[in-house]
Structure 1
Amino acid sequence: MNKSIILHIVGWILSVEAAFMLLPLICAVIYQEKSGFAFLITMGIGLLIGLPLVIYKPKSKLFFAKEGLVSVGLGWIAMSSLGALPFTISGEIPNYVDALFEIISGFTTTGSSILKDIEALSYCMLFWRSFTHWIGGMGILVFVLAILPMSGGERMHIMRAESPGPSIEKLVPRMRTTAKILYSIYLGMTLLQIILFLIGGMPLFDALTITFGTAGTGGLAIKNDSMLSYSPYLQTVTTVFMFLFGVNFNIYYLILFRKIKTALRSEELRAYVLIVLTAIILISFNLGGFKGFFSSIHHAAFQVSSIITTTGYASVDFNTWPTFSKSILVFIMFIGACAGSTGGGLKVSRIVMLFKALMKELSFLIHKRSVKVLKFDGNKIEHETLRSVNVFFACYMFIFAISVILVSLDNYDFTSSFTAVAATLNNIGPGLEVVGPLGNFSDFSYFSKFVMMFDMLVGRLEIFPILILFSPATWKK
């Protein structure tokens, strides 16, 4: 394994992260907050470690899939370890384990929090906490790909390891150009949401931080009641953009280049829209008496968009909803958003492929001699793709089951333990009961927090970039 190139990439990540900390530092200057000094110290540490690794040129530039997976896994761990320091250095989250939980939740766009009083944090810390969503949503390595001088094949290994979904393809022949296109779309949608928030009278600081959480489908709020206190207009804008950021960014590329018919033929997009509409209708009827039917539709649409895209914002305390509505929310927690979006979960494309494989198997049991070719978006689903989907699902269920058992050692009720793991593994944020939309994860033991930190990283990085770090074969020469 080419360790020098891996360290070189990690150096880039730490250096870019240190540069990103200029924004919360500026925020501290604007609001005259002394806690901003923590970012200066952390930037110094990041550059002290990162710049030598960037300056040192690897002797060999050989780079394969293994190096790509390890680079992503180690890169995200290093990024989280550095990103937690401002909270601890400033004393606003004095316990480093809690600070690490909070920042991993931010970078992985999970939105689970250990904070009992969110509004007690300084503006600069709230800004950094939300900005990590925006960084982690598209992926810091996708950003690095746009500036790191590497050849296309090498870039593809990194992008496949960090991008959510069963497959990742180049939008254009040059991988660097693909990364720039993705970030341009991401930035454009972010700016549009900020503008619509400002039109609705939202303060600039709130508009920035809430948009970062929406764009990254993260959900770390800046108020203790999440988004309950914002106006229906601002909640509606958030609903629309949560839904939009849950769509595969390839769809926006096709629309941008006037290939609208091709975009609308996407099976994943059609399935995603169908699932969202069905869930909204079912919950709306179940909540019929919730302050009127239109109010029920409004809050159902908000929470369905929030949960299926794994954003995690709340417009209402859905812990008080009927069991049927809460069951639907838990169900769509596992489905997640589209592949190639900023959302988490299993991904709609995988669910569609697994459903088609099930139908094929049932057909085969009835008609033994039948030959049915599985297709997705008009293309044949290759055996390798289906195998990887099945392996991913098996690993996912194994990790989920083991995590629930381990977290249950804290002796909370089953619903709290189950949904806490579901919320962290699927990068959603809130669960039910103890970890509901107005609750938090502060009272879990350190052991359970480490289990859930592992789940957050595994969920965001699609399992294998983290698991491969624990394989002895990875480190053999």
Structure 2
Amino acid sequence: MRLNYKIIFHFLGLLLLFNGGFILLSSLVSFIYKDGVTANLLLGGIITSAIGTLVMFRTKDHKKEMNKREGYIVVTFGWIIMALSGTLPYVLTGVIPEFTNAFFETMSGYTTTGASILNDIESVPYGVLFWRSLTHWIGGMGIIVLAVAILPLLGIGGMQMFAAEAPGPNADKLHPRITDTAKRLWLIYFGYTALETILLKVAGMSFFDAINHAMCTLSTGGFSTKNASIAHWNSQPVIQYIIIVFMFLAGTNFVLSYFAFKGKVQKIIKDEEFKLYFKFIIVFTIIASLIIYFKADHSISSIEHPMVWGEGESAVRHALFQVLAIITTTGFVTADYTLWTPFLVVFFFGLMFLGGSAGSTSGGVKVVRHLLMIKNGFVEFRRSLHPNAILPVRYNTKSVSGDIVFNILAFFILYMLSFIIGALVFSMFGINFESSVGLAASSLGNVGPALGDFGPVNNYAALPDLGKWWSAFLMLLGRLELFTVLILLTPFFWRNR
């Protein structure tokens, strides 16, 4: 079957039109705060929107059918097109004049990685800071899902794109129609963002800081408007507790949030992934807080405001914050955890491979995959004793098909292989071992802060240009969960059948 190139370009044009609209929104923010870059952002929005409109107009007579191959192409190249066009606000305003750095920052935004090359974030104009946070917010739930919600207007079915955008093992649907699912997900996403904005404003943030941090929290991104990240508010614990709550929600399957609003609490309580996700956070926080309280150097301060070392509340709060920030791949920072004893450095490095729940905005491997791999391991132990027994892997009381188990095992092998290759390539650029493995784990898991020279108090500005392009590729690979990108690199994908 030949590829329907017209529908592919038509949809890419639609994504450019969306992107242009969001850039224009940033120009409005720039105008309100009178930061001097309104015209530049306006030009970027007009250029992007015009190109998108032209592409859509030239492909308006497309055949309105989309198969899986076209869905994968639209998702992967859609992400690249969004990142390419998203560089315009940085380049045109002169905030990041170098294209490589601008592309890195934009890809980090859309993939919700949160790694940055900016050395002085607080000097960046308001409109550009808003755009930077907006790339997180768009990428968090997925620009593809947003577009799927309006596809009926174009007469196109969106199931193929939704499957490519969210290829995890959890197939729960809120509504039998995929467009209604997308709308409900975005409604919850928008509602959480608005609620966190209000709470952060009440807690003491400015409205601008509040809305930016709300967008970056719900997307599990990690960009901040302050050089010290959330450590800027270390003297205001209530702000950190609010972000902790919303990081937890962002790392939870959004379908469970929908069930909660519908009063179906039992579905949440019985969900095995949610229970394990919650237990992981509690256990890991206890371990980290005890080590911080008893073992960490009490003379070490946080990035900006000193922590009240020796107080149990401070130890628990910073441990809980950093555990959640790494597990959910949000990447916010309240302290330099690489100074919290060698054990905690390795500990947090391991958490980079965990990830939040399937159906959340977090990156990483995802809790449900770890759960099913552990369950499958125990089944194999039992099968070695009872080779003729039928022993299915069960999840939420239901039997999991062998195909799903094999898919998860294949994903994990590919993930670890990608991590190893990623670290090797970084080492080829002359980067030391600790920094290389940290960069590979952080980029692939969309975490943000890494280890070594690229730890939580540093940024990625010192990374060589080739290293930035490689890191951006790993970000895309991790954000689209490997298969969506890697399948495009196989020759049989492009064969006409």
Q: Normalising TM by the smaller chain, what interval?
A: over 0.9
Q: 2:468 corresponds to which letter in structure 1?
A: K
- CA positional deviation for 1:111: 0.4
Q: Where does residue 301 of structure 2 map in the other structure?
A: none
Q: Where does residue 184 of structure 1 map in the other structure?
A: 187
Secondary structure at 1:375's aligned position in 2?
strand
Retained in 2: the 8 A contact 1:170–1:178? yes
Cα distance in 2, alignment partners of residues 414 and 59 from structure 1: 50
In structure 2, which of residues 187, 198, 202 is the aligned counterpart of residue 199 of structure 1? Answer: 202
Residue 237 (1) aligns with residue 242 (2): yes
Moved more, 315-324 or 182-191: 315-324
Q: 2:27 corresponds to which letter in structure 1?
A: L
- CA positional deviation for 1:242: 0.4
- CA positional deviation for 1:106: 0.5
- CA positional deviation for 1:154: 3.5
- CA positional deviation for 1:164: 6.0
Cα distance in 1, alignment partners of residues 175 and 61 from structure 2: 28
Q: Where does residue 277 of structure 2 map in the other structure?
A: 272
Cα distance in 2, alignment partners of residues 232 and 321 from structure 1: 20
Residue 52 (1) aligns with residue 71 (2): no
Q: RMSD across aligned C-alpha pairs, in angstroms?
A: 1.6
In structure 1, which of residues 40, 61, 70 is the aligned counterpart of residue 64 of structure 2? Answer: 61
Cα distance in 1, alignment partners of residues 214 and 392 from structure 2: 43
**Structure 1: 5+ residue runs without aligned partners?**
none
Q: Where does residue 470 of structure 1 map in the other structure?
A: 489
- 1:18-56 alpha-carbon deviations (Å, 9 max, x no partner): 111122101111122232222222222212221123233
Cα distance in 1, alignment partners of residues 154 and 125 from structure 2: 42
Residue 459 (1) aligns with residue 464 (2): no
Q: 1:274 corresponds to which letter in structure 2?
A: K
TM value normalised by structure 1:
0.97
- CA positional deviation for 1:184: 0.6
In structure 1, which of residues 108, 121, 126 is the aligned counterpart of residue 124 of structure 2? Answer: 121
Retained in 2: the 8 A contact 1:375–1:381? yes
In structure 2, which of residues 324, 336, 340 is the aligned counterpart of residue 321 of structure 1? Answer: 340
Q: 2:104 corresponds to which letter in structure 1?
A: F
Retained in 1: the 8 A contact 2:38–2:127? yes
Q: 1:343 corresponds to which letter in structure 2?
A: S
Retained in 1: the 8 A contact 2:64–2:156? no
Secondary structure at 2:449's aligned position in 1?
coil
Secondary structure at 2:231's aligned position in 1?
coil
Retained in 2: the 8 A contact 1:25–1:36? yes
Retained in 2: the 8 A contact 1:164–1:342? no
Q: Where does residue 246 of structure 1 map in the other structure?
A: 251
Q: Where does residue 35 of structure 1 map in the other structure?
A: 37
Moved more, 243-252 or 23-32: 23-32
The aligned runs of 1:254-403 (5 Å cut-off) are 254-289=259-294, 290=298, 291-292=309-310, 293-403=312-422
Cα distance in 2, alignment partners of residues 245 and 375 from structure 1: 26
Secondary structure at 1:380's aligned position in 2?
strand
Cα distance in 2, alignment partners of residues 166 and 45 from structure 1: 39
Q: Where does residue 139 of structure 1 map in the other structure?
A: 142
- 1:239-272 alpha-carbon deviations (Å, 9 max, x no partner): 1110111000110111122211122110000010
Moved more, 54-63 or 4-13: 54-63
- CA positional deviation for 1:150: 7.1
Retained in 2: the 8 A contact 1:106–1:133? yes
Moved more, 196-205 or 324-333: 324-333
Residue 408 (1) aligns with residue 411 (2): no
Retained in 1: the 8 A contact 2:19–2:49? no
Residue identity (%): 38
- CA positional deviation for 1:367: 2.9
Q: Where does residue 72 of structure 1 map in the other structure?
A: 75
- 1:276-324 alpha-carbon deviations (Å, 9 max, x no partner): 1110000011111450222110100000111100000011111211122
Retained in 2: the 8 A contact 1:71–1:158? yes
**Structure 2: 5+ residue runs without aligned partners?**
299-308
Secondary structure at 1:111's aligned position in 2?
coil
Q: Where does residue 446 of structure 1 map in the other structure?
A: 465
- CA positional deviation for 1:141: 0.9
Retained in 2: the 8 A contact 1:85–1:96? no
Moved more, 5-14 or 161-170: 161-170
Q: 2:263 corresponds to which letter in structure 1?
A: R
**Against the structure 1 CA distance between its residues 329 and 58, is the aligned structure 2 distance closer, same or farther, given a 3 Å change threshold?**
farther
Higher RCO (Cα < 8 Å, 6 or more apart): 1
Q: Where does residue 15 of structure 1 map in the other structure?
A: 17
Retained in 1: the 8 A contact 2:24–2:46? no
Retained in 2: the 8 A contact 1:404–1:417? yes
In structure 2, which of residues 98, 102, 105 is the aligned counterpart of residue 95 of structure 1? Answer: 98
TM value normalised by structure 2:
0.93
Secondary structure at 1:228's aligned position in 2?
helix
Q: 1:458 corresponds to which letter in structure 2?
A: L
- CA positional deviation for 1:151: 9.3
Cα distance in 1, alignment partners of residues 273 and 54 from structure 2: 44
Structure 1's consecutive aligned runs of 4 or more residues displaced over 3 angstroms after TM superposition are: 150-154
Q: Where does residue 155 of structure 1 map in the other structure?
A: 158
